[in-house]
Structure 1
Amino acid sequence: MILDNRGLEPPQPMMRTLDALESLSVGETLSIINDRRPMFLYEQLDEKGYKHVTSEREDGSYLIEITK
């Protein structure tokens, strides 16, 4: 599943991402695209035990792959 959060103002990207993660089963991955690096989201993911990998895309946005 891919969630495109570009163009949204904080905290909308984080709230949309956390809501989408609720519907995932253990082992599934959610990919999100954000305009900026989601520093506050990382704290939430770490607290909940999600694994995440971030890569910067050519257009300056960020792809974050989150595994439940």
Structure 2
Amino acid sequence: MSRADADAVLDVRGYEPPEPFVRTMEALDQLERTKSLLVLLPREPFPLYRALEINGFCWQTEFRPDGSVAVLITHRTQ
């Protein structure tokens, strides 16, 4: 998955917790229903997955060779 797969990209690899979670949730608040957000993280975001599920999002996770993680997030369709 690449930046071309997403409508918006949020790179939070340089931030300390809980900043990646907070910034991701803020970005999702602004995400239109038909758009997607690619979040680049330093590690797998287990707490984020639960928040996404509760808030009606689905996601795909890709593990990168450098140890970082890319999560492509979209609104769940009914």
Aligned residue pairs total: 68
SS at match of 2:10: strand
CA distance in 1, matches of 2:14, 2:30: 23
- The match for 1:38 is 45
Q: TM-score scaled by structure 2?
A: 0.84
- The match for 1:25 is 32
- The match for 1:8 is 15
Identity rate of aligned residues, in percent? 40
Asked if residue 55 in structure 1 is aligned to residue 62 in structure 2, the reply is yes
5+ residue gaps, structure 2:
1-7
Q: Considering only CA atoms, is the larger Rg found in Structure 1 or Structure 2?
A: 2
SS at match of 2:33: coil
Asked if residue 65 in structure 1 is aligned to residue 72 in structure 2, the reply is yes
In the TM superposition, what whole-angstrom CA distance separates every residue of 1:4-38 from its partner, at most 9, and x where no partner exists?
01021111000000000111111210000000100
5+ residue gaps, structure 1:
none
Q: TM-score scaled by structure 1?
A: 0.95
CA distance in 2, matches of 1:58, 1:3: 19
Task: Tell me which stretches of 4 or more aligned residues in structure 1 moved more than 6 Å.
Answer: none
Which amino acid in the other structure matches residue 62 of structure 1? V
